[in-house]
Amino acid sequence: MKDLGELPQDRDKNRLNPGFASDKVRFFRVDADDAGQRIDNFLLKLAKGVPKSHVYRVIRGGEVRVNKKRVDVTYRLEIGDELRVPPMRLAESRSAPVRAAEFPILFEDDYLLIINKPAGVAVHGGSGVSFGVVEQLRAARPDARYLELVHRLDRETSGVLMLAKKRAGLVGLHEQIRAGQLDKRYLVMVQGDWLNARQHVRLPLVKFLDGEERRVRAVTNPGHPNDADAVAAHTIFSLREKFKSGQTDFALLEAELKTGRTHQIRVHLASLGFPIAGDDKYGDFALNKELARPSKAQLKRMFLHAWHLGLQHPVSGEAMQIEAPLPEECERFLGALR
């Protein structure tokens, strides 16, 4: 997206950095990176911090023009379109300032940034979190014109996380996700005597609120009216290794995601009676407390790690295999069990 400035006759002055609102009318010309986006989504990203209701109001009120014409909120931008964007001020922000940060890079080129996300860091701000990985990376890379999450990981899950540096990368990877073409595999330690070498779990999942906390549960009795919003979920578990620590059985599994639902691996395992070690939402809280005590086998995080991702490069089509090594704390716990 090329910033044409404040007025057509003065287009090189007062350039607007993406992500900031302006108190003046601005003009932009759409390039290949932004073509295909809905205009509402483009403006929401352009004017981060402006209330969503205001963005929709200015579009519906005709204050946003494309090629000097009014457009609907569903209009998709085309290469060469000229946008008129009215003044939009940032909403007052009381959140903590974003701390710029980089993360271990597994792969990077002009289109993709793939990192090894640490446990305990949210992928984006919201739900009580001021900022996450994507905001920290944007702060660390102020010259980056485009940086968007391709997918998500739970805050307490570590491992392979993809971001797109160009819209073509994001669109191409989303097409692979919709077609089920990504090979996403996790390493997970569960409590219990796991028996099957390979097990398919196809339990639908439904989201619900427990007080103010968002949770997910597996549907084990189909047809109940409370489960009308359930979505299909499919995980394949493969046994890697079994252990016994005192009177407690553990098993190291590889989880292959065939669908990508919220908390899918955690809820599928908990519903089978095999809670993840260290899972503070769906796990065995007495066990977690015991594991957190100082010892050789101390574990103070959830043992769930996105270790492998197979994909095709969204532009070149090259087959890629990305792997993130198991974090030190998980390796230490694994060594103690062995």
Give which of 90, 98, 95, 93 is closest to 51, Cα–Cα. Answer: 90
Give the pair of three-digit tokens for residue 218: 């597996």
Q: What are phi and psi of 175, to 5 degrees?
A: -65, -40
Q: Which amino acid is at 266?
A: R
- CA nearest 186: which of 313, 337, 330? 330
Helix orientation angle between 52-60 and 39-46, rounded to the nearest 10 degrees:
130
Q: Retrieve residue 170's tokens.
A: 């994001």
Share of the chain residues as helix, strand and coil, in percent rounded to the nearest 5 = 20, 30, 50
Q: Are 85 and 25 in contact (CB under 8 A)?
A: yes
Question: Which tokens in the block code for residue 214?
Answer: 């968002």
What positions carry a catalytic annotation?
A: 154
DSSP annotation string for 175-223: HHHHTT--EEEEEEEEES----SEEEE---EEEEEETTEEEEEE-SSTT
The helix (run of H) or strand (run of E) holding residue 266 is helix 264-272
In angstroms, how far is CA 132 from the centroid of its own chain? 10
Residue 14 to residue 28: CA distance in whole angstroms: 13
Please give the DSSP secondary-structure letter assigned to residue 63.
Answer: -
* Amino acid, res. 312: Q
Give dist(CA 43, CA 71) in Å, integer: 13
CA 200 to chain centre: 25
Assess contact for 182 and 331: CB atoms under 8 A.
no
